[in-house]
Amino acid sequence: MSSASEHPLVPETVADIAVWGPVAAQIDLHLQSCVVALAKDGDGWWTVPGDVSAELRVPAEGVRYAFAVDSGDPVPDPRSLRLPDGVHGWSQVHTPPAPAPWAGRPIDGAVIYELHIGTFTPGGTFDAAIERLDHLVDLGVGFVEVMPVNAFNGEHGWGYDGVGWFAVHEPYGGPDGFVRFVDACHDRGLGVIVDAVYNHLGPSGNYLPTFGPYFTGGANNWGSTINLADADSDEVRAYIVASALRWLRDFGADALRLDAVHALIDHRAVHILEELSVRVAELSQELGRPLSLIAESDLNDPRLITPWHGGGLGLDAQWNDDVHHAIHTAVSGERQGYYADFGSFECLAKVLCGGFFHDGTYSSFRRRHHGRPIPVDQVPASRLVVYTCDHDQIGNRAIGDRPTAYLDSGQLAIKAALVLLSPFTPMLFQGEEWAARTPFQYFTSHPEPELGDAVRNGRRAEFAEHGWHTEDVPDPQDPETFRRSVLDWSEPSRPENAAMLDFYRSLISLRHNEPDLSDNRFESVTVTYDTGAQWFAMHRGAWSIVCNLGTAPVGVPIQLGVALAWGDYHETGSVLALAAHTVAIGQRR
């Protein structure tokens, strides 16, 4: 009887290669020199038989291999450490260089920068990204969050169609390139967050059903539901935990952003997220540096970020779309789709002071009540990651247009000030800091024509349901869709972009250097506003962030020693006069 913990992820010798396949009647190990019939134990693990293992006790490092299940074609190992020939090719045993020593840093309140390796630079690799890290240091960023870098099919993609949960996407630079990237970040004092997807697998290269019951009969929006609680789910859960720990231990990452955890269907008494948080805490103790888990969830359930002793799942943070929606709708005026409930100043005040807008209230988009209040006296505001935009809020618009395409610079500055000077943990999306004009569109490069057609047609049908013209939706398979999404690094040198970049730097500097603005408690926030006059103010201790969201000048009854502003303003007695779409930040007199 054996389990995943008894079979090392990195086999020392070829004889140590093993695979879990409880439903298989036969599994053969294919090597470049021979084929070996494996033996099955009582728990469904297949290993090299003892009578032939002596001749295979040679170092496994560099060896390429595959498994044939029930006389089928050879396919990659579900725990492939490297897939040098892509997700359909043979696996390779590979140990990347050990990450350099690093003390780590806590994530609470630090500024996160989300980027996509393939579009962050024209080179589209880890090494090319390293060349731009000093820009992030100068900006004041604390953590770099990379969109998924595990192995997926094709050259270019967002990464959420990954199928190799233990391998690094080769076109980015593979496992060795990723270690170089992590070390380069750490050398500059930047932590690294890996976007990890455990709620589904991509449509191409997913061979898990060949080996065992990794999935249930159900499905979510992206694929078959992972088997977390049904028969034989112990090994499936161990598979997820081992993948998560690999990013943190073997590659030196500091945190994981867990994609769409609401799609993890788990009815066990100990939820997979709690199990994962316990194991990550143990690894943190072992390594002697902070490690964090950040959830993406649309449940508005504070149990995710409530400690174990308080009955929660013990995660360190979660993305909070409600803050994004409240700020975006108040500034932009958009009300389509899930924005319908947002947009009022009352809504904006509620999220800045309490985190969730839907905290047991009726959601017209869902047509039901949704969420639960955050216990603001027990949970710090910094456990919520907030943003003016992210890859979803740009890339899942029909044409992938950034806010720069439909908002003026004053509106962009207002959004930035409310996010970066809030008590939450702020996150930027690549290029936002200089008001980049390049879109971030949804792109794929599936080699299979039928899969490319399905993605193309499905994307257009989805947006047609929401009233977009289908001819406006970019073809995800068109290489130009990818190329349009690559950042233009000449933009920051242009006067209008350089001014926005300086404004972002100043906001982040204020956040770092002013204690009132780095206070991570909900109670550190109060607000005042005038809906008719269209001004809104967020107060943090002695500091105020005063915004004119309207299209006409306003007088705000606040005496403010302005330290930073975007747009025209002046003070007359006890009134702060603001031009349209202006934000002024300073200490109250």
**Interacting residues of 234 by C-beta distance below 8 A, sequence separation 6+:** 3
Q: Which residues are catalytic?
A: 259, 296
In the three-class reduction of DSSP (H, G, I as helix; E, B as strand; rest coil), residue 407 is classed as coil
Is 586:563 a contact under the CB 8 Å cutoff? yes
Q: In what order do the strands lie in the sheet with 18-20?
A: 18-20, 45-47, 39-40
Q: What is the DSSP string of 329-385?
A: HHHH---SGGGTT--SHHHHHHHHHHS-S-SSEEETTTTEEE-----TTTS-GGGEE
| Spatial distance between the Cα atoms of 371 and 65, rounded to a whole number of angstroms | 48
Alpha-carbon Rg of the chain, whole angstroms?
A: 25
DSSP states along 437-458? -S--------SSHHHHHHHHHH
Report the C-alpha gap between 393 and 327 in whole angstroms.
13
> What does the buried/exposed string (b/e) look like for 97-127 if buried means 16 or more CB atoms within 10 Å of the residue's CB?
eebeebebbebebbbbbbbbbbbbbebbbbe
Domain residue spans in the chain? 4-74, 112-448+483-510, 449-482, 520-588
d(CA 42, CA 54): 23
Q: Are 198 and 259 in contact (CB under 8 A)?
A: yes
The owner of tokens 């950040």 is: 294
d(CA 93, CA 86): 14
449: helix, coil or strand? helix
CB 550 within 8 A of CB 534: yes
One DSSP character per residue, 124-139 reads -SHHHHHTTHHHHHHH
User: Which amino acids are annotated as binding site, given as ranges?
Assistant: 257-262, 321-325, 391-396
Distance CA 272, CA 239 (A): 11
The residue to which tokens 């982040």 are assigned: 508
pLDDT value for 25: 97
Is-same-fold flag (112-448+483-510; 520-588)? no
The beta-strand segments (E) located in 59-184 are 64-69, 91-92, 112-115, 143-146, 150-152, 162-168
3-class secondary structure, 425: strand
The architecture in CATH of the region 4-74 reads Sandwich (2.60)
Query: Which strand (E) or helix (H) includes residue 482?
Result: helix 479-484
Query: In terms of DSSP bridges, do strands 255-258 and 191-196 run parallel, antiparallel, or are they unpaired?
Result: parallel
Tokens 């992938």 — which residue? 400
Q: Which fold has domain 112-448+483-510?
A: TIM Barrel (3.20.20)
What pLDDT shows up at residue 518?
95
d(CA 230, CA 237) in angstroms, rounded, equals 11
Tell me the CA distances in angstroms from 208 to 158, 163, 218, 498, 568, one per residue in order: 21, 9, 16, 49, 59
Half-sphere exposure of 144 (CA within 13 A, CB side): 30
Strands (DSSP E) contained in 173-254 are 191-196, 215-219, 224-226
Digitized pLDDT (tens) for each residue of the chain, 589 residues in all? 567 777 889 999 999 999 999 999 999 999 999 999 999 998 999 999 988 888 899 999 999 999 999 999 999 999 999 999 999 999 999 999 999 999 999 999 999 999 999 999 999 999 999 999 999 999 999 999 999 999 999 999 999 999 999 999 999 999 999 999 999 999 999 999 999 999 999 999 999 999 999 999 888 888 899 999 999 999 999 999 999 999 999 999 999 999 999 999 999 999 999 999 999 999 999 999 999 999 999 999 999 999 998 999 999 999 999 999 999 999 999 998 889 999 999 999 999 999 999 999 999 999 999 999 999 999 999 999 999 999 999 998 989 999 999 999 999 999 999 999 999 999 999 999 999 999 999 999 999 999 889 889 888 877 766 667 777 899 999 999 999 999 999 999 999 999 999 999 999 999 999 999 999 999 999 999 999 999 999 999 999 999 999 999 999 999 999 999 999 999 988 999 999 999 999 999 8
Contact assessment for residue 272 and residue 228, using Cβ atoms and an 8 Å cutoff: yes
Binding residues for substrate: 257-262, 321-325, 391-396
- 70, 21 contact by CB (below 8 A): no
The CATH code of domain 520-588 reads 2.60.40.1180
Q: What angle do CA 147, 148, 153 make, to 5 degrees?
A: 130
Contact assessment for residue 291 and residue 254, using Cβ atoms and an 8 Å cutoff: yes
Q: Which tokens in the block code for residue 527?
A: 């607000």
pLDDT of amino acid 455:
87
Quote the tokens at residue 96: 């990347």
